[in-house]
Homo-oligomer: A and B are copies of this chain.
Amino acid sequence: MIAAMRITVLAGGVGAARFLDGLIRVTDPAEVTVICNVSDDFAWHGLFVCPDIDTVVYTLAGLEGDQGWGVRGDTRAALDELTALGEDPWFLIGDRDLATHVWRTERLRTGHPLSEVTRDLAAARGLACSLLPVTDDPHPTVVLTEDGPLGFQDYFVRRRASDAVRGFRFPGAHAAQPAPGVLDALTTADVVVFAPSNPFVSIAPILEVPGVREALAATAARRIAVTPIVGGAAIKGPAASMLASLGHAVSALAVARLYSRLVDTFVLDAVDAAEAPAIEALGLRVCVTDTMMTSGERRDALARAVLDAAAS
Which residues of A approach B to under 8 Å, CB–CB?
Answer: 45-47, 71, 74-75, 77-82, 84-87, 94-100, 102-103, 105-106, 109-110, 121, 124
What are 24 A-B pairs with beta-carbon distances under 8 A?
Answer: A45-B103, A46-B102, A46-B106, A46-B110, A74-B77, A75-B75, A77-B77, A77-B95, A77-B99, A78-B95, A78-B96, A78-B99, A79-B99, A80-B96, A81-B95, A81-B98, A81-B100, A82-B99, A84-B99, A85-B100, A87-B103, A95-B98, A98-B98, A102-B102
| Cross-chain contact A81 with B109 (CB below 8 angstroms) | no
Known: A75-B95, A78-B98. A84 touches B124 (CB 8 A): yes
How many angstroms from the CA of A86 to the CA of B121 in the assembled complex? 10
Known: A46-B105, A47-B102. A96 touches B81 (CB 8 A): yes
Give the top 7 A-B pairs by smallest Cβ distance, nearest first. Answer: A81-B99, A46-B106, A77-B95, A78-B99, A95-B95, A81-B96, A82-B99
How many angstroms from the CA of A96 to the CA of B78 in the assembled complex? 5
